[in-house]
Structure 1
């Protein structure tokens, strides 16, 4: 592995592991079951695949050229994350459901992970600006950028599987009624704050 690839892997790992809406959504689902958290992580990796593909194709540049489109995607992503947070906080009003009632289908956490990530236009812009810095000049850019995109998706898939596993291993403590409600309140508050921030940024710009 060359030096550029090592450097890119380190930067990409930091970006993937950075706490945010993706991390919070995975924890929220992993509290239900390890499988739900793992499937949610798979959805996030799918969203990152879309962003990196856009960056490779150059389509993400449209978001820079058309500010209204960028703001619209920010607002849409903010609304989605905000409603996830509000719904999580609202569920605290109800008694804890039995495991059979609260376990989501595989499609539900997959959709949550994918939509939460793919509606974040900043991810496309991040990779659009980052990927070219690690493509050597004088050669074919496509194979290299595809390799970089694959590294990003692999890192995300591995990281969120680890997060789901850790939450599941701590599940006995985390699923105690008091601890579960505290963590649910924390994740709901974090999602609500993140969604509000995504909404306010384009509105105040």
Structure 2
């Protein structure tokens, strides 16, 4: 394995594991059930697959070249993540006897899969990140398409390892995390994080930057 590929694996692992909207929605889904958490994790990986495929195809460059499209994606992504945050905060403010495990709708695997996918795929910074990152790890003289496909596969593969692991670990701690008081705290923290991320994404296009 060449040095650039080893370096990329380290960079990609850090990027995937960095706490953010993806991590937060996986944790929230896993609090409902292990199945929901794993489904959400697969959805996140599916969103990464879309972003890396766009970068490999060069289509992500369109988002950079056409600011209006990028702004629309920022608003859509920010609004969706803000909505998830508000929902979590509302759940944290409800009756103390109601835990994430009690909400059957949130525990549905299909809904969790969709939530994870949309949270990731609507992130407007991901296409720019991958479009700028992947070429840095293509050696001079190497075939670009096979190399970038390999790099994209590594990112998706790491996501398929990391996020389901997070879901399983949260589920294993469920006996403690699902107690009413702790559950409300986790919902409040994750909801606040998602709301802050959503507002951050919305602030730039709405401010005209």
TM beyond 0.5: yes
Q: Counterparts of 2:55 and 2:64 in 1: how far apart (Å)?
A: 12
Counterpart residue number, 2:164: 161
Runs (4 or more) in structure 1 with deviation over 6 Å come to none
1:106 aligns with 2:112: no
Q: CA deviation at 1:92?
A: 2.9
Superposed displacement of residue 196, structure 1: 0.8
Helix, strand or coil at the partner of 1:19? coil
1:178 equivalent in structure 2: 181
Could you give the per-residue CA deviations for residues 132-184 of structure 1, whole angstroms, max 9, x where no partner exists?
A: 11112223211111110000001111110111111111111101111111111
Match of 1:87 in 2: 87
| Shift in CA distance, 28/97, structure 1 to aligned 2, threshold 3 Å | closer
Q: What is the distance in 2 between the residues matched to 1:97 and 1:145?
A: 43
Deviation at 1:68, TM superposition (A): 1.0
CA deviation string 1:65-84 (max 9, x = no partner): 00111111001000000001
Structure 2: distance between partners of 1:168 and 1:144: 37
Q: Which runs of 5+ in 1 are unaligned?
A: none
- CA drift at 1:113: 0.4
Q: 1:186 to 1:98 in 2, by over 3 A?
A: closer
**Distance in structure 1 (CA, Å) of the matches to 2:205 and 2:61:** 18
Residue 192 of structure 1: aligned partner = 195
SS of alignment partner, residue 132 of structure 1: helix
What TM-score results when the alignment is normalised by the length of structure 2?
A: 0.94
1:140 aligns with 2:143: yes
Residues 25-79 of structure 1, C-alpha deviations (whole Å, 9 max, x = no match): 0000010111111110100000000000000000000011001111110010000
Counterpart CA distance in 1 for 2:99 and 2:116 is 22
Aligned residues: 205
Q: CA deviation at 1:93?
A: 3.9
Could you tell me which residue of structure 1 aligns to residue 11 of structure 2?
Answer: 11
Q: 1:98 to 1:129 in 2, by over 3 A?
A: closer
- Describe how 1:5-154 pairs up with structure 2 within 5 A: 5-95=5-95, 96=98, 99=101, 101-102=103-104, 104-154=107-157
Q: 1:98 to 1:161 in 2, by over 3 A?
A: closer
Give 3-state SS (helix, strand or coil) of 1:31's partner. helix
Q: CA-atom RMSD, angstroms?
A: 1.4
Gaps of 5+ in 2: none
